[in-house]
């Protein structure tokens, strides 16, 4: 038995090969899989669940089908929102059969309590992003956005994505996690293991805190012919990137 973790696939219609790669990953998850956790940014952007079964998401239908088939196989799928697909809602979860998680949650991984997060809230040095995040996660702002036509939302999402890419290039040093924020999150959750994505800097970080061994595992983003995943079973931990 094993539990799998992925994040930051950034699937979109302009990369059909990446969509196919994601579908193959879902299809070939072993039968002994306990669960699959998607820790955010499954999509490059998500403009609302009302885009399901419309031409705007037709290129992603194979991914939706892959998620449905996992449920049919008895493999539960859990999803945390990322900074790209934060407006994904219960209608999508019902349609694909996955379970939505809060932005931070502790699960028991074969005897080790583990904190799961997308990871963006740990990047506290990026003050501009954190301020924008407060607005984007505001239910009133989200409802106002959803009241716009789908095409207008897509254009807004593309503009936000372009601005984000410029910001990351200008502020490379502040888009990684803040170690103090990491420690605070782990202490608050009372865990020695943290698993997250977002930064696109896959690694297994080990450090001591009050003589206690702590582990922070960062999932990688996906590229064609280079999927990134974490597999944990009762004895082993494998980070692929």
pLDDT, one tens digit per residue, over 164-209 is 766 565 556 667 999 999 999 999 999 999 999 999 999 999 999 9
Q: What pTM does this model have?
A: 0.95
pLDDT value at residue 161: 78
Residue 164 is assigned to a ligand binding site: yes
- Round to whole Å and give the CA distance between 180 and 202: 19
Residue 41 is assigned to a ligand binding site: yes
pLDDT, one tens digit per residue, over 88-102 is 999 999 999 999 999
Residue 223 is assigned to a ligand binding site: no
Is there a contact between 56 and 150 (Cβ–Cβ < 8 Å)?
yes
pLDDT value at residue 120: 97
pLDDT value at residue 203: 98
Per-residue pLDDT band at 138 (split at 50, 70, 90): very high
**SS3 at position 219:** coil
Residue 10 is assigned to a ligand binding site: yes
Residue 126 is assigned to a ligand binding site: yes
Q: What are the residues whose beta carbons fall under 8 Å from the beta carbon of 237, sequence distance 6 or more?
A: 204, 217, 230, 231
Residue 8 is assigned to a ligand binding site: yes
Residue 198 is assigned to a ligand binding site: yes
Nearest to 190 by CA among 241, 114, 91, 123: 114
Q: Residue 168 half-sphere exposure, CB side, CA atoms within 13 Å? A: 13
- Round to whole Å and give the CA distance between 171 and 166: 9
Residue 170 is assigned to a ligand binding site: yes
Superfamily of domain 2-240: Metallo-dependent phosphatases (3.60.21.10)
Q: Name the residue ranges covered by the structural domains of the chain.
A: 2-240
């Amino acid at each position: 038995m094993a539990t799998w973790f992925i994040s930051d696939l950034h699937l979109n219609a302009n990369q059909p090969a990446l969509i196919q790669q994601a579908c193959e990953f879902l299809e070939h998850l072993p039968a002994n899989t306990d669960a699959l956790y998607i820790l955010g940014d499954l999509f490059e952007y998500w403009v609302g669940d009302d885009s399901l079964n419309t031409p705007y998401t037709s290129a992603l239908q194979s991914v939706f089908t892959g998620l449905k088939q996992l449920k049919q196989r008895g493999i539960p799928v859990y999803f945390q929102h990322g900074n790209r697909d934060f407006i994904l809602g219960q209608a999508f979860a019902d349609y694909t059969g996955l379970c939505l998680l809060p932005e931070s949650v502790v699960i028991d991984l074969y005897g080790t309590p583990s904190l799961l997060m997308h990871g963006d809230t740990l990047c506290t040095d990026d003050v501009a992003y954190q301020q924008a995040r407060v607005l984007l996660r505001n239910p009133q702002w989200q409802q106002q956005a959803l009241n716009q036509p789908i095409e207008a939302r897509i254009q807004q999402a593309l503009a936000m994505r372009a601005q984000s890419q410029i910001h990351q290039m200008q502020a490379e040093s502040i888009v990684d996690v803040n170690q103090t924020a990491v420690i605070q999150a782990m202490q608050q959750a009372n865990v020695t293991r943290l698993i997250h994505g977002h930064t696109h800097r896959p690694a297994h970080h080990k450090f001591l805190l009050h003589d206690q061994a702590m582990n922070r595992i960062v999932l990688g983003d996906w590229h064609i012919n280079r999927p990134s995943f974490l597999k944990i079973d009762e004895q082993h931990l494998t980070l692929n990137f």
